[in-house]
Amino acid sequence: MRFHWIMVALIPVCAQETAPAYKNPRLSVDERVADLLSRMTLEEKAAQTQALWQKKALITDANGDFAPEKAAAVLRHGMGQITRPSEKKGPREMAEFTNAIQRWVLTHTRLGIPVMFHEECLHGHAAPKGTHFPQAVALASTWNPALVEEVFTAVAREVRARGARQALTPVLDLARDPRWGRVEETYGEDPYLTAQIGLACIRGFQGQGPALARDRIFATLKHFAAHGQPEAGTNAGPASFSERVLRSEFLYPFEMGIRVGKAMSVMPSYNEIDGLPSHANQWLLERVLRQEWGFQGFTVSDYEAIAQLATLHKVAADKDEAAVKALETGVDTELPDIDAYGRLADLVRAGRISMETLDRAVARILRAKFLAGLFDDPYTDPALAEKVTNSPEHRALALRAAREAIILLKNERGTLPLDAAKLKTLAVIGPNADKVLLGGYSDDPGYFITMLDGIREKVGTRVKVVHAEGCRITEPGGSWYKDEVKLPDPAEDAKRVAQAVETARGADAVVLVLGGNEEVSREAWSATHLGDMDTLELVGRQNELAQKIVALGKPVVVVLLGGRPYSIEWIARNVPAILNGWYLGQETGRAVADVLFGDYNPAARLPVTVARNVGQLPVYYYQRPSGRRGYLFSSKEPLFPFGWGLSYTQFEYSTPKLSRNAIAPAGETEVEVEVRNTGARDGDEVVQLYIRDDVSSVTRPVKELKGFQRIHLRAGEARTVRFRITPAELSMLDIHMKRVVEPGTFTIMVGPNSRDLKSLQLTVTP
């Protein structure tokens, strides 16, 4: 018996010795990549740079299931990626689908190189039954990186269990133009906040890395770079910024994501910088990303962006030239379908692309696949996919995140929280009161709690809840994917307004749910699918509805849901209580109801500045000293400042103190401030640190966020909050583009938002 076990143990060792080196998990990733690359044919290499999406019909049957009999025609040389295998598939179905494709590729291709599957995961897995958390801008509104890491850890579990190992997330664009329809996809306007929330997302996705644990996936930083303030506010418009502004502001979140977060993948942006589209910008993708930042991962194109070098940007004569430019620039994989890279093998044979250039891209792709564990653990468990997807734990996390994302913009006359004991009838009115609103890059999570649902669930039979639509934003409204956007019929909308007024007339208070929907703020991916706006006003008759409801003289609470900040000047002046939620995910109604009735004390903060009107743009807070001289007949102050948010309790800040009032350029100090909850309720406060370089060799912003902490304080409790100030918080790019800390004075500011700050001075000695 002992001899028998010895022989069994020797069998895999002998087999391992005869197997190719790339199949040996005991070798290093670099050794395995080198061995595999040396064995590959030109066609096999080219296939690794390609993906399938709309052309998945070439490998599926009429039901969308994998068809092995069709696969050889497309997959005989392997395939780099399969795009969004989750489409129209539940958790088990997707897991079975990815397993079937993987099994065929591993057993029917010459070298058995596994496929990478990627998914959209902006605020949850954008797939049927996936848990839908608050939209990205709402997650940023929590100012809680620990919570955001929890969210994307949950997302990673769901996506990995279904078979995918790459997320096209996070979006690290700075949302510096609210006309742009993709504000909702970002973490706001600020480089530091975006970097911190982005790092939390990367940690949640990738874990410790670089190799993926069995419940983790790769993060993809996008859109690289300067995509969030497009010319005219229209998606993919040119970005005309100096190198100093690019490096100091737009590139900073990406640099942190690479240097600190070790993100494995990067997606270049659609736009151009200084005449160079990002997919053909070697300065951006080679010099900055790889040489300066040390990026070791792989790049993927934005969807159809390589072909757009020819069709949109006109820097290539045709798709062949576009493919040459993109591959030489450093775009390793073309998404979402075989298109411009479909002729890479022919272009190598013709001498237009060197084998060395192709090998460079393929080696990066293979390295990622080894680190993803695809060669050693290629399959997933369909039962696990069913178990973890939208699990009770993930639903509870979605509710917690939604509560933490709700911003109390205004609360006068004790309007909030509502007291159910003092209400007989509550009117819930507005175009967003009873709508499923998830935002872009979503699917069907299986259930959604509307505002009306949540309020009725909260009050039960204690309060009579009446409802009227009031008006519509679009007709019928709410499809992110549909090309045509149609405004409602004016006569029918006038009837809806009148009906809403009558409904509200008999109520004791009104919750008015306004904002936007997935049609009026979305990705404008073509001239026939627009989503940007030249106004920041509420669409349609929403202002008219608000004015007529307020005229009834009843307590009114406005709840804003949507994808962009709106210029609600009249509402801000005349409505006593305003909540902003963006898109709050599948638990929207429950979360808002908890805040409305005081079961949760709101503490979220604006991650963007809210303009009074479109004429104030750009309105981001970290302007240069000359940037805000003022306007005739109008205020230069925004409607709501960056970092703004109120609570049902009150907080008092002491005068901040420095541990050292003077330091050398390489020195450090610490600022501390005592924060006391002076109200009668427990609550969270977001303590914010801003710094201004008082006199500098090149102009610097009037203030910059350099730290924040979300803390919980019981009623009457005080806590000392400390921020460390190092050269990283004080440094700048000087006239020679060198990062330095210049001697002089710095104003250190601490407070609850970017406007209401207490300050002191720090001296940096020569």
Instruction: Outline where DSSP puts E strands in 598-730.
Output: 651-653, 657-658, 662-663, 669-677, 683-693, 704-713, 718-725
Task: Give the DSSP letter string of 536-591.
Answer: -SPSTTHHHHHHHHHTTTS-EEEEEESSS----HHHHHH-SEEEEEE--GGGHHHH
Residue 122 — φ and ψ, nearest 5°?
-55, -45
CA-based nearest residue to 472, from 443, 445, 444, 497: 497
302 among known catalytic residues: yes
Q: In the 8-state DSSP scheme, what is residue 55?
A: G
Residue 511 — φ and ψ, nearest 5°?
-105, 115
Q: Is 693 helix (H, G, I), strand (E, B) or coil?
A: strand
> What is the SS3 assignment for 257-318?
HHHCCCCCEEEECCCEECCEEHHHCHHHHHHHHHHHCCCCCEEECCCCHHHHHHHCCCCCCC
- b/e per residue, 228-266, with b = 16+ CB within 10 A? bbbeebbbbbbbebeeebbbbbbbbbbbbbbeebbbbbb
Q: In the 8-state DSSP scheme, what is residue 521?
A: S
385 and 95 Cβ atoms separated by less than 8 Å: yes
How do 758-764 and 704-713 pair as beta strands? unpaired
Peptide bond into 336 cis (omega under 30): yes
For 177, 186, 267, 642, the CA distances from 180, given in Å and listed in that order, are: 6, 11, 19, 18
Query: Chain centroid to CA 512: how far?
Result: 28
How do 718-725 and 669-677 pair as beta strands? antiparallel
Strand partners, 712: 684
- CA separation for the pair 411, 443 (Å, rounded): 34
- b/e per residue, 26-59, with b = 16+ CB within 10 A? eeebeebbeebbeebeeebbbbbbbbbbeebeeb
CA-based nearest residue to 565, from 526, 603, 533: 533
Q: Is 48 helix (H, G, I), strand (E, B) or coil?
A: helix
Among the listed residues 173, 177, 302, 443, the single catalytic one is 302
N- to C-terminal Cα distance for the chain?
A: 79
- Sequence length of the chain is 766
Active site residues: 302
